[in-house]
Amino acid sequence: MDVLDQSEVDALLAAVDAGAVEEVKQEIRIFSRNRRPEDLEHVEIRTYDFKRPERVSKDQMIALQTLHEAFARNFGASLSGFLRTIVEVKVATCEQMTYSEFISGLPNPTSFNLIEADQLAGQICLEISPLIIYPIIDRLLGGTSQDLFIPQRPMTLIETRLISNVTKRGLTALSEAWGGIRALDFNVTATESNPQLVQIVPPNEVVIVIGLEVKLSNRAGTMNLCIPYNVIEPVMEELSAQSWFNVAKGQASETTMHRVGRGLVRAGLGVTGLLAETTITLEDLLHMSVGDVLATEKAATMPVVISVEGEKKFLAEVGQFRGSRALRVIRAIAPEDRV
């Protein structure tokens, strides 16, 4: 093979710029069994990166993002009550990548928590940035985080113990968010400061990374939830957008009915007995006076309708109890009753 020196390279480049040498365009050939050669000009061609296979469908990614948006709201509310200040947590990104790409983008040191679920095989990880960890610790110890210095060192045992209270609340909110899919109980099994030392899956394994942004007064930081695909693969069928929304809707309505019913159990209601009904003209109403009689088509022996807050609910008999007029319920009004 001949090697060109610098003068020959410069002359070749000058000839290309001047148009003396035409660039050779490589013809793209497409091989297909189902298309004729004249149809290949209209084929849409897209590049595919084999290093980042898309194993999770688009609707499942949307369902995951919606699910963890609920987690972010619950976690933010829980942290606000725990820290006695407004904490805002929101989903910033939701994407799939390889585990090596996720690890390479994390700082060192950081709070890297390994989490296991009772019904899922494998581990997921929750990474919390030191930029928000130390303001939270400072807040727990009575500080204001105004001139807080973020140390570049692993957390001490006391700091780890303090931040574990935050992690527990996060896992509780995560369990509530996943309750619409499957009842899961998350627990922290290990904590590490250097993410490079943790290998929960092979480097080229696909993981779903949910990036969250945490804001605490004048401080902000990130939090990443890394879920390997092989961990949630058993529940991926239930994670399509339509089935997830349907399940969540059914469970939410049942929970809401129970909560509302428990809150209304002591509420007072107005109960009335409707003896009879009739219609008259406006002229008769204007000339009505004391002693006039209203005639109805209802016999005195027929049951009386009991209404609760205006809704007809029961049939009853008119009687007397301890010297007072009373109504004794016979039965509930059935749909076929004409009352």
CATH code, 337: 2.30.330.10
Would 103 be classed as within a structural domain? yes
Q: How far is CA 233 from CA 56, 94, 108, 239, 332, in A?
A: 9, 17, 30, 10, 50
What is the predicted pLDDT for the residue at 40?
Answer: 55
Task: Beginning with the edge strand found earlier in the chain, give each strand of the sheet holding 186-192 in spatial order.
Answer: 87-98, 206-216, 219-228, 123-128, 111-117, 186-192
The residue type found at 112 is: F
Please tell me the distance from the alpha carbon of residue 171 to that of residue 307, in angstroms, as a whole number.
48
Average pLDDT, the chain: 81
The residue-averaged pLDDT of 216-244 equals: 79
Please tell me the distance from the alpha carbon of residue 227 to that of residue 209, in angstroms, as a whole number.
6
Res. 154 pLDDT band, cuts 50 70 90: confident
User: In this structure, are 102 and 243 located in the same domain?
Assistant: yes
**Within 10 A of 131 (CB to CB), how many other CB atoms are there?**
15
Would 10 be classed as within a structural domain? no
User: In this structure, are 98 and 239 located in the same domain?
Assistant: yes
CATH number at residue 73: 3.40.1550.10
Q: How far is CA 231 from CA 118, 208, 222, in A?
A: 11, 10, 23
Nearest to 113 by CA among 133, 92, 143: 133
- Count of domains forming the chain: 2
CB-CB contact of 315 with 301 (8 Å)? no
Which structural domain range is residue 89 located in?
58-256
pLDDT tens, 3-21? 677 777 778 777 777 766 5
Would 44 be classed as within a structural domain? no
Name 164's Cβ contacts closer than 8 Å, sequence gap at least 6: 188, 191
Please tell me the distance from the alpha carbon of residue 34 to that of residue 185, in angstroms, as a whole number.
50
> What is the percent of the chain where pLDDT is above 90?
9
CB-CB contact of 222 with 132 (8 Å)? yes
| DSSP category for residue 18 | H
Would 38 be classed as within a structural domain? no
User: In this structure, are 245 and 334 located in the same domain?
Assistant: no
What is the predicted pLDDT for the residue at 29?
Answer: 65
User: In this structure, are 229 and 302 located in the same domain?
Assistant: no
User: In this structure, are 314 and 165 located in the same domain?
Assistant: no
Would 7 be classed as within a structural domain? no
Nearest to 193 by CA among 153, 227, 147, 242: 153
The residue-averaged pLDDT of 90-96 equals: 90
